[in-house]
Amino acid sequence: MINTPHDLLLKILTTIGYSNNKEEFISEFIININLQSLLDLISTLPTNEQEEIKKNLARSANYVDKTTRTLNSYFSKIQIENALEAASKNAIKKYIECINHALSTHQRQQLAKISQEL
């Protein structure tokens, strides 16, 4: 069963025969998902609050800890989780669309099976 974006990406990369470092790719992909979800959340705020949150994050010495505290002061845990989930689904969908032309019929069928497991 696929429980996390990491698990899903690992399964996709294995299915398509990705030959480079899978863990490095997954790590970078997940960082990008987190950044995108952060941007998506910030864009829902009024302009003055967007500027305020950006300034708070820019002053951070401990990025992860400060980001978490800052986000929690503007958004509920559910909003943050929903933004992460939406960004994950969108990023994975776009990735598959980008590589689709290079996949064999068998690989496409395998990816369709993975999608059904979600």
47-81 burial code (b ≥16 CB/10 A, e <16): eeeeeebeebeeeeeeeeeebeebbeebbeeeebe
Distance CA 72, CA 79 (A): 10
Torsion of CA 47, 51, 53, 56, to 10 degrees: -170
Tell me what pLDDT residue 114 has.
Answer: 85
Tell me what pLDDT residue 68 has.
Answer: 80
Does the reported pTM lie above 0.85? no
Taking only the tens of pLDDT, the chain with its 118 residues reads 677 889 999 999 999 999 999 999 999 999 899 889 988 999 999 999 998 888 877 776 566 677 788 888 889 999 998 998 899 889 988 998 899 999 999 999 999 888 877 6
Tell me what pLDDT residue 5 has.
Answer: 85
Q: 77, 23 in Cβ contact below 8 A? A: no
